[in-house]
Amino acid sequence: MTVTPHLFIPGPTTIPDRVRMAMNLPMEDMRSAEYPKLTLPIFEDMKKAFKIKDGRVFLFPSSGSGAWESAITNTLAVGDKVLMSRFGQFSLLWVDMAERLGLKVVLCDEEWGTGVPLEKYADILAKDTAHEIKAVFATHNETATGVSSDIAGVRKAMDAAKHPALLMVDGVSAVGSLDMRMGEWGVDCCVSGSQKGFMLPTGLGILAVSQKALDANKSLNGRMNRCYFSFEDMIKTNDLGYFPYTPATQLIRGLRTSLDMLFEEGLDNVFARHTRLATGVRAAVDAWGLKLCAKEPKWHSDTVSAIFVPEGIDANAVLKTAYYRYNTSLGTGLNKVAGKVFRIGHLGALDEFMVGGVLFAVEMALKDCGVNIKLGSGTGAAAEYFSKTATKSATGVTAPAAAKAA
**393: confidence class by pLDDT, cuts 50, 70, 90:** very low
Structural domain boundaries in the chain? 18-264, 266-392
Spatial distance between the Cα atoms of 141 and 304, rounded to a whole number of angstroms:
9
Residue 251 has pLDDT above 80, yes or no: yes
Inform me whether the pLDDT recorded for 398 exceeds 60: no
Instruction: Specify the pTM.
Output: 0.94
**394 pLDDT above the threshold of 50:** no
**The pLDDT value given to residue 221:** 63
Checking if the pLDDT of 181 tops 90, the result is: yes
Q: What angle do CA 255, 259, 262 make, to 5 degrees?
A: 140
Q: What is the mean pLDDT of residues 225-245?
A: 96
Instruction: List the strands of the sheet with 189-193, edge to edge.
Output: 56-61, 204-209, 189-193, 166-170, 133-139, 81-86, 104-109
- Once rounded to an integer, what is the mean pLDDT over residues 60-85? 97
The pLDDT of 191-211, averaged and rounded, is 98
Helix or strand (DSSP H, E) at 255: helix 249-265
Per-residue confidence band for 173, with pLDDT thresholds at 50, 70 and 90: very high
Instruction: Quote the CA–CA distance of 142 and 84 in Å, as a whole number.
Output: 13
Cis peptide before 247 (omega within 30 of 0): no
Mean pLDDT of 115-144: 98
Task: Provide, rounded to the nearest whole percent, the portion of the chain with pLDDT above 90.
Answer: 93
What CATH number was assigned to the domain covering residues 18-264?
3.40.640.10
User: Does this chain's domain 18-264 share its CATH topology with 266-392?
Assistant: no
The stretch 322-343 carries a mean pLDDT of 97
Cα–Cα nearest to 210, from 11, 8, 13, 57: 57
* Enclosing H/E stretch for 343: strand 341-345
Question: Which fold, 266-392?
Answer: Aspartate Aminotransferase, domain 1 (3.90.1150)
Q: How far apart are CA 302 and CA 148, in angstroms?
A: 8
pLDDT for res 69:
98
